[in-house]
Structure 1
């Protein structure tokens, strides 16, 4: 996992590595190594591993690492990793962005309709100004959240580097 691949601009930084090892063997080695580590919680579902921050250090903006092991051939496999916010946080933000975009389109249609009918279009135009401001505010809230979880993200990243060195 090269530091050059980890770009601060990414919302959800990713990495992938190929291994000269069967996917099941790789998955079992990962599970065994991560289980010995007491700092993190681990959930395994099929070929996926989710590594979470422990409850005592966990907060709303805490990141998690999702790992997927893919079988390429009988003797080779690919490990894909994704650092990011918990799914609940990501879903909430995407829902809010979708709602703001939908409201913007609705108010644009209302403003145009009222303008065409020579009715007052003051409120829809105010909303057309306020909604992009809300969008910018959401961006800054997300940036603050990202910086709040940055220390834990770096800890997860260095832990994963340590795990990958052991393989």
Structure 2
């Protein structure tokens, strides 16, 4: 797999199996792989993730959306992504950092216009930029660490969708 993945890697695949057969095969596979992997099926959506015992903070999940085509084949749209809880927390941190930066930039501008000292405000703004850069590289590192597990999820998916 390409090591320069986008933050949320997407793919599209077509198989000659029907949606019902794919869902049944994933349902059957669920019982044999239970401690190492987790499979969740809702309607035409299937989520594959690493099992609780082997899950790390960088563990990805794979979301498959099944769509029936006119010729009887099934279109599969896949999306690799981080754990939703971690992703939500990560976005929360980004919004907090952006909010603190905006608030202190307004305060620094006000103090500058009033000819007051604003060194502390600039320091806090600079630390928010440094913290944001740290989060960026932390996310890149976690994504790179998750690539081997992405491969395992891909192999698991191919067991079912490959005819």
User: 1:7-63: CA deviations, max 9, x gaps?
Assistant: 623112111113345433443344444554454221111111111212221222222
User: Residues of 2 paired with 1:136 and 1:124: CA distance?
Assistant: 19
Alignment map for 1:67-106 (pairs within 5 Å)? 67-73=64-70, 75-106=72-103
Counterpart CA distance in 2 for 1:56 and 1:26 is 26
Q: CA RMSD in A?
A: 2.3
- Structure with the bigger RCO (C-alpha within 8 Å, sep 6+) is 2
**Would you say the 8 A contact 1:22–1:74 is kept in 2?**
no
Distance 1:10 1:97 in 2: 19
Structure 2 unaligned regions, length at least 5: none
Task: Name which of structure 1's ranges 146-155 and 61-70 shifts more when overlaid on structure 2.
Answer: 146-155
The 3-state SS of whatever aligns with 2:8 is coil
Q: Which runs of 5+ in 1 are unaligned?
A: none
CA distance in 2, matches of 1:68, 1:109: 45
Q: Structure 1 pair 73/34, CA: closer, same or farther in 2 (3 Å)?
A: farther
CA deviations over 1:75-105 (Å, ceiling 9, x no partner): 2432111112110011111111111112212
> May I ask how many residue pairs the two structures share in their alignment?
162
Aligned to 1:18: 14
Q: Secondary structure at 1:83's aligned position in 2?
A: strand
Q: Does 1:9 align with 2:1?
A: no
Q: What SS does structure 2 have at the residue aligned with 1:56?
A: coil
Equivalent residue in structure 2 for 1:127, among 124, 127, 139 = 124
**C-alpha distance in structure 2 between counterparts of 1:9 and 1:102, whole Å:** 29
From 138, 143, 152, the equivalent of 1:155 is 152
Judging changes above 3 Å, is the alpha-carbon distance between structure 1 residues 68 and 35 closer, same or farther for their aligned structure 2 residues? farther
**8 Å Cα contact 1:7/1:13 also seen in 2:** no
